[in-house]
Chain A
Amino acid sequence: MKRCDMALGYLLSIFLILGAGHAQINIDSNEQFHEELVIRPLAGDHVNTYFQFTTRWHYGENESLFHTQLTPRVIAELLQQFDVKELHIGLTQGLWRYETWGYPVVETTGGAEMWAWFNGPNLTDQEVNRQWTQLANVFSGVLCASLNFVDQTNSIAPKYLLRPQFMSGGGDENQSKFIRYSSLPREIVCTENLTPWKKLLPCGSASGFASLLNSAYVHNTKFHSLGLTVRTLCEHPENCVLELTQTANLVYDLRLLEQSTGDFSLRRLFGMGLNGYCELAGSSQIYVQLNEQGQRYQLVPEPTKEIKTTRGGHTVIYGVYDMQKQFEGQGERLFNIAWVTPKGDRKQRLGGGQHQFLIPPPLNVHRYLLGQGQERGRIATELTNNHYEPLPILLQELIPWYVHAYLHTLRIRSRNLQRHEYTNSKKDLPFQVLHYAPGKQRELPTHLEIAFELPPNSAALITIEVDYLLLKWLEYPPDANHGHYIGSAILSTLLPIARNYTAIPIDGHLFEHSFNATRPSYVLSLHTEALIVSLPTPDFSMPYNVICLACTVVALAFGPIHSVATKLIIVERQSAAPKNFLKKIIFKLTKRKSNSQQQQQQTEEDKAIGGTETDIDPTDQRES
């Protein structure tokens, strides 16, 4: 127990240590640009291609922030207008399969996701909220995404999970830092996002690796994710580096390519070969994974260099193509790399046999919805730890306001991987850290962060009960019965080993910085699937009818009570009213006309029997 507490504390504090420590600031020229492409064959006939474009801009004192060469102007203006120190935006379509594909280099969730750190003198919570919505609007325009829907109703301030990766530098360390996080799981990522995203690059899509990103091919993939990360690293306020990282992470299903044989090449993946490198780039490298799933291919042409990297006891061999050398002193041509299965292996591959035994990553996660009907349900998140050591887990849930979550129903049940049944309630895993901000309809989402220890070789099932709300009829999206989305949960842990782990360390900025980057532990963050819940829907066609009917029922009470309170009791001749139904109606109608006449008659009758017309309460008369 003590050890896991320590591990947890370590998890919480590690980012702070890293953030304060290692960032390297040694820049020769003011601005640098690097392009990298990583191609990794994955299990099950999939190929992961990861593009990373890194722009670093060292802006010192007395330098105009509007004068940039490689950095897009809009990013430079960020620093002028907002107190943003770190910004992450991800636009993703598809689901990353952790079990078979391992962990991706950058983590994103389906739809749009955005988070930012704010830090500056005299910042208040309201000011941050204002800047946050403005920032979302700016990038809504820059990326043509619906980020303008980011507002207070779907933003939270994560407390533990997301740690700062920027350095504010100087004496303002004790300034409070603010964070905002939001996700729009319904956002559909499409061509219109790719084109403006490419425009942020120094070479645009004219040359360099970005020329490979053609929308027709990118959007045919099983998974594609565009990312944009900005962070500032300051030693002191006058000596800063602005780092802009643009990433494109794609997963191709080889079986879906035309004339699928299991072989592939750059041309087949992207529609064309590489036309060169971006002339503004400091380096243009292609890394191709040679071992593991890459073993089954032969590369044409062979890589110029091989790099063997050992990280956390896990060895990966990359073949490197330096584009600037490839295109040295030659005329125009297209560069292509082909992955070809050696002749002898082909039969075996087509027979469906797996080349290598698949080692699942140490931790993976799934989420699903339990229960039926449109009234209530349970959100279940299932974590599996294949490792032989316990793992500290931090989990963050952002539950939108149209779903009510009951915190007291939160349970973490565990089971050993050999068993299929979860333990009963008495053996629930206790959570060590709990941060909860309850949601409010139409105002705030529910924000939940928990931390607990996941025992070795076991699975944990986290469930929380939710109610689905009935909304106002105009609050439903156009296709109301499509359902409403609940964004994915984010999960963070510290892995002791780096199996399947490819993320770039926090103190580096290029993919090559992850080579041989052995650390005491590796921060891993995972996203679960997003959920879709179907809320009860009203009938959209009949607002008038409902208003009329409800008001009628109110009138049903108002009428009689009004007459009881205002009318007098009078006595009337029995024979005056006809017995026949039709005649009754006629009598009622004619009565109005001859009202005066009748009243006269009435008074005469009253006289005759000595005043039968009385107030209902004779005691009143006595009192008066």
Chain B
Amino acid sequence: MDAKSFKLLLLGGAVRLYFSRTPLASLIGDRVEFATPLNSYKRMQEGVFLLEHDIDPYSGDLVHESPLVLKGLSWIFLNYASYLPLLYILLDLLTAGLLWIMSHWFVKHKLQEQRLERKHYANDTEELQYHNEDNYDIPELVLMAYLFNPLTIMSCIGLTSTVFSNIFLALFFFALVKGYLLPCLILLAFESVRSFYPIVLISPLLLVFARRSYWRGFCIGLLFAAACIAIMAANYLVMNSWNFLDGTLGFIFYFRDLQPNIGLFWYFFTEMFEHFRAMFLITFQLNATVLYLVPLSIKLRKEPLLLATVLVALMSVFRAYPSLGDVGFYLALMPMWKRCWKYMAHGFVVFAFFLISLSMMGALWHLWIYAGSANANFYFGATLAFCTGQIFLITDLLFAQVKRQFCLYNGQKIMIDGEEARIILE
């Protein structure tokens, strides 16, 4: 990392530190958009408190953090509670740094790949190819997108445990790009046992490490299962009971808490007819996990990292308890696909969707909960719009990638009978 990146990191840290000392911090910690039942600081405190008093936190309905994390943090929570914001900020900066290194290596790999492929490229496709200056431009953009995105800043100062999810995911991406199989597997297993949805990232992992050999893929699958079981066993050893499984994974899968959040689940299952609940629950969970996994894995088998990005993004749209911190994380990965941006048509629409729905959310929440002059539909509308915006962004990225691949080999201007042709999907 160069000096400029360090300066940016310092600045990002300073911004977080400043805001964590303002009243904004506790306000964000209580906002449903950032603090969900899974990641809220208050519930973490409750979990640590219950653990300390020898009460099984998972016998109740408040704590859904994995036992290992809970136990690991309880010492800090109990003894150095006032330094906690500092810890969260450091972790967040670490995440940013990891993302910088990860994207740096990613561009390097891309440039190497291009050198081999260059002779197949069409002539006028310079702007679609990665350049040498991207080596520093893209990591810097990634860094800035993570450090100065209000969503990640607020998620950090609100002390949500999304900060932990983000650093685990960043480490996973880093290990994926660098090709460290074992850390990759363990991180993924840990994060999957903790919050269930990252299990879909096994697909990019297989694409990277088991390119041409089914045998190898099978072995990695077995290893992954073994790692998951080992982590569950470690959790079991901490708690001495299997209650935590229902408290973490069961709680996510069965969607027991209907507290409003930015996702699609809460109002849908509030208004659901009881006899259809099981069916829609399974449908929605499939939608968030395996539905897009196979087609996208086949389509993007050459671009495992893009696959991982899209999966992380889809995950944070369709998961049961999404928070804006998750959104901030995948937005930071977008600059890696800078060379696709030319074909992304909905940039303005997506931006408008984000801006308007995010600013409406706060207002409509106030009207519903505090003023009593609106009802749940208003807030639901805002979250629906926000989800739509995110979906536009993701599908736009996919279309752009498909177009870029096509144009890279066929040229940007294709002529039919001397007339410019249109590219369409049929």
Q: Is the CB of B391 within 8 A of A556?
A: yes
Identify the closest chain A residue to B60 (Cβ).
Answer: A438
Which B residues are CB-close (under 8 A) to A467? 259
Q: Is the CB of A572 within 8 A of B376?
A: no
- A539 contacts which of B266, B375, B409 (Cβ < 8 Å)? B375
**In whole angstroms, how far apart are the Cα atoms of A170 and B274 in the complex?**
51
Q: Is the CB of A407 within 8 A of B49?
A: yes
Q: Is the CB of A561 within 8 A of B272?
A: no
Identify the closest chain B residue to A438 (Cβ).
Answer: B60
**Closest beta carbon of chain A to B415's beta carbon, Å:** 8
- Interface mask (B343-372 → A, CB under 8 Å = 1, otherwise 0): 000000000000000000000000011101
Of B97-105, B191-199, B323-331, B397-405, the segment with at least 4 beta carbons within 8 Å of chain A is B397-405
Which A residues are CB-close (under 8 A) to B423? 569-572
A375 at interface by CB-CB < 8 Å: yes
**In whole angstroms, how far apart are the Cα atoms of A403 and B370 in the complex?**
17
Given contacts A539-B377, A565-B299, A605-B416, contact A471 B258 (CB under 8 A): yes
**Closest beta carbon of chain B to A601's beta carbon, Å:** 11
- Interface mask (B248-288 → A, CB under 8 Å = 1, otherwise 0): 00000000111110001011111111100000000010010
Q: Is the CB of B30 within 8 A of A469?
A: no
Which A residues are CB-close (under 8 A) to B120? 618-619
Q: Is the CB of B314 within 8 A of A557?
A: yes
Q: Is the CB of B53 within 8 A of A570?
A: no
Q: Is the CB of A567 within 8 A of B398?
A: no
Identify the closest chain A residue to B409 (Cβ).
Answer: A618
B112 at interface by CB-CB < 8 Å: no
Which A residues are CB-close (under 8 A) to B372? 374
Q: Is the CB of B295 within 8 A of A538?
A: no
B302 at interface by CB-CB < 8 Å: yes
Which B residues are CB-close (under 8 A) to A474? 274
Identify the closest chain B residue to A615 (Cβ).
Answer: B406
Given contacts A561-B395, A574-B419, A619-B302, contact A406 B55 (CB under 8 A): no
Identify the closest chain A residue to B47 (Cβ).
Answer: A408
**Closest beta carbon of chain B to A125's beta carbon, Å:** 14
Which A residues are CB-close (under 8 A) to B295? 561-562, 565-566
Which A residues are CB-close (under 8 A) to B267? 538, 546, 550
Q: Is the CB of B421 within 8 A of A571?
A: yes
Q: Is the CB of A609 within 8 A of B272?
A: no
- Interface mask (A563-601 → B, CB under 8 Å = 1, otherwise 0): 111111111111101000000000000000000000000
Identify the closest chain A residue to B310 (Cβ).
Answer: A561
B298 at interface by CB-CB < 8 Å: yes
B interface size (C-beta, 8 A): 79
Identify the closest chain B residue to A606 (Cβ).
Answer: B416
**In whole angstroms, how far apart are the Cα atoms of A536 and B369 in the complex?**
7
Q: Is the CB of B59 within 8 A of A565?
A: no
Q: Is the CB of B420 within 8 A of A557?
A: no
- Which residue, A408, A434, A436, A575, has most C-beta atoms of chain B within 10 A? A408
- Interface mask (B366-402 → A, CB under 8 Å = 1, otherwise 0): 0011101001110010001001100110110011001
B412 at interface by CB-CB < 8 Å: no
Which A residues are CB-close (under 8 A) to B388? 553, 556
Q: Is the CB of B406 within 8 A of A470?
A: no
Which A residues are CB-close (under 8 A) to B415? 609
B3 at interface by CB-CB < 8 Å: no
- B376 contacts which of A434, A539, A554 (Cβ < 8 Å)? A539
Given contacts A439-B60, A556-B391, A612-B421, contact A549 B402 (CB under 8 A): no
A22 at interface by CB-CB < 8 Å: no
- B419 contacts which of A436, A565, A575 (Cβ < 8 Å)? A575
**Closest beta carbon of chain B to A563's beta carbon, Å:** 6
Q: Is the CB of A441 within 8 A of B257?
A: yes
Q: Is the CB of B55 within 8 A of A436?
A: yes
**In whole angstroms, how far apart are the Cα atoms of A464 and B422 in the complex?**
65
**In whole angstroms, how far apart are the Cα atoms of A442 and B277 in the complex?**
15
Q: Is the CB of A567 within 8 A of B417?
A: no
> On chain A, which size bracket covers the interface?
35 or more
Q: Is the CB of A564 within 8 A of B53?
A: no
**Closest beta carbon of chain A to B275's beta carbon, Å:** 11
Which B residues are CB-close (under 8 A) to A567? 425-426
Which B residues are CB-close (under 8 A) to A376? 30
Q: Is the CB of A470 within 8 A of B266?
A: yes
Which A residues are CB-close (under 8 A) to B416? 571, 573-574, 605, 608-609, 612
Q: Is the CB of A616 within 8 A of B422?
A: no
B317 at interface by CB-CB < 8 Å: yes
Within 8 A of B (CB), among A267-307: none
Q: Is the CB of B299 within 8 A of A404?
A: no
- Which residue, B295, B387, B406, has most C-beta atoms of chain A within 10 A? B406
**In whole angstroms, how far apart are the Cα atoms of A570 and B273 in the complex?**
44
**Closest beta carbon of chain B to A121's beta carbon, Å:** 29
B62 at interface by CB-CB < 8 Å: yes
Which A residues are CB-close (under 8 A) to B128? none
Identify the closest chain A residue to B425 (Cβ).
Answer: A567
Which A residues are CB-close (under 8 A) to B395? 557, 560-561, 564
A17 at interface by CB-CB < 8 Å: no
Given contacts A408-B45, A539-B375, A573-B416, contact A438 B59 (CB under 8 A): yes
Identify the closest chain A residue to B277 (Cβ).
Answer: A472
**In whole angstroms, how far apart are the Cα atoms of A575 and B415 in the complex?**
12
Which B residues are CB-close (under 8 A) to A619? 117, 120, 302
**In whole angstroms, how far apart are the Cα atoms of A438 and B46 in the complex?**
11
Identify the closest chain A residue to B387 (Cβ).
Answer: A553
Identify the closest chain B residue to A551 (Cβ).
Answer: B268
Q: Is the CB of B426 within 8 A of A568?
A: yes
**In whole angstroms, how far apart are the Cα atoms of A614 and B199 in the complex?**
34
**In whole angstroms, how far apart are the Cα atoms of A538 and B268 in the complex?**
11
Identify the closest chain B residue to A406 (Cβ).
Answer: B46
**In whole angstroms, how far apart are the Cα atoms of A616 and B299 in the complex?**
10
Q: Is the CB of A374 within 8 A of B369?
A: yes
Q: Is the CB of B53 within 8 A of A574?
A: no
Identify the closest chain A residue to B414 (Cβ).
Answer: A571
A547 at interface by CB-CB < 8 Å: yes
Which B residues are CB-close (under 8 A) to A440? 59-61
Q: Is the CB of B55 within 8 A of A616?
A: no
Which B residues are CB-close (under 8 A) to A66? none
Q: Is the CB of A469 within 8 A of B258?
A: yes
Q: Is the CB of A563 within 8 A of B425?
A: yes
**In whole angstroms, how far apart are the Cα atoms of A612 and B50 in the complex?**
66
- B402 contacts which of A470, A553, A616 (Cβ < 8 Å)? A616
**Closest beta carbon of chain B to A534's beta carbon, Å:** 9
A328 at interface by CB-CB < 8 Å: no
- Interface mask (B3-15 → A, CB under 8 Å = 1, otherwise 0): 0000000000000
Identify the closest chain B residue to A481 (Cβ).
Answer: B372
If A372-B370, A553-B387, A617-B405 are given as contacts, then 19 extra A-B residue pairs at C-beta distance below 8 Å, sorted by A number, are A373-B370, A406-B45, A408-B50, A438-B50, A470-B259, A470-B260, A472-B272, A536-B376, A543-B272, A547-B271, A553-B264, A557-B292, A558-B291, A568-B426, A571-B422, A573-B421, A574-B422, A619-B117, A619-B302
CB pairs A–B below 8 angstroms (14 shown): A374-B368, A407-B49, A434-B53, A436-B50, A543-B272, A549-B384, A553-B264, A560-B391, A564-B395, A565-B295, A573-B417, A614-B406, A614-B410, A616-B402
Q: Which 10 residue pairs of A and B lie closest in terms of their CB atoms, listed nearest first?
A: A438-B60, A565-B295, A408-B49, A560-B395, A543-B271, A550-B268, A373-B370, A567-B425, A546-B271, A557-B391
